[in-house]
Amino acid sequence: MRSGKTVMMATDESGHFDDLIWSALPGLHTITVSLSHVAGRPYGALYALYSRRKVGHVELELLELLAGHASVALSNVTAFEEVVRQRAHERAVIDGSADGIAVLDAEGLVGSGTPPRTC
């Protein structure tokens, strides 16, 4: 899984997955896992368990597609949270600085609050 690619695990001759909790499921023969990434780093994973039919490349590609869509959704959520945080920070800076900004004229006296226009 360190490669970031979809992984397919099948049972050994005993028909069990040794230490995995899934080994208690009757008839389970294959587990597939595909990672979801956010900002190029693994963020989570989707997995599928198979007990009746054989797993082919179509099932693996579908799991990869779903994991890719999950990555896009997670990226959108994290980007939106960052925008909300940034806007709140900008608003706090604007609100906090409104009372502390003064416009000085050429003689160093506080002006009307708007800079003079030059033509």
CB atoms near residue 23 (< 10 Å): 13
Query: Which band of pLDDT confidence, cut at 50, 70 and 90, is reported for residue 83?
Result: very high
In sign, the C-alpha dihedral spanning 17, 22, 28, 30 is negative
Q: Which of 25, 26, 60 is nearest to 46 (CA)?
A: 60
Q: How far apart are CA 59 and CA 34, in angstroms?
A: 11
DSSP, residue by residue, 24-86: GSTT--EEEEEEEEETTEEEEEEEEEESSSPP-HHHHHHHHHHHHHHHHHHHHHHHHHHHHHH
Q: For residues 94 and 87, what is the distance between their CA atoms, to the nearest angstrom?
A: 10
Are the C-beta atoms of residues 74 and 36 closer than 8 Å to each other? Answer: yes
Instruction: Please write the tens of the pLDDT for every residue from 49-73.
Output: 888 777 888 888 888 888 889 989 9
28-53 residue pLDDT tens: 777 788 888 888 787 888 888 888 77
Residue 15's CB is within 10 A of a number of other CB atoms, namely 11
pTM for this entry = 0.57
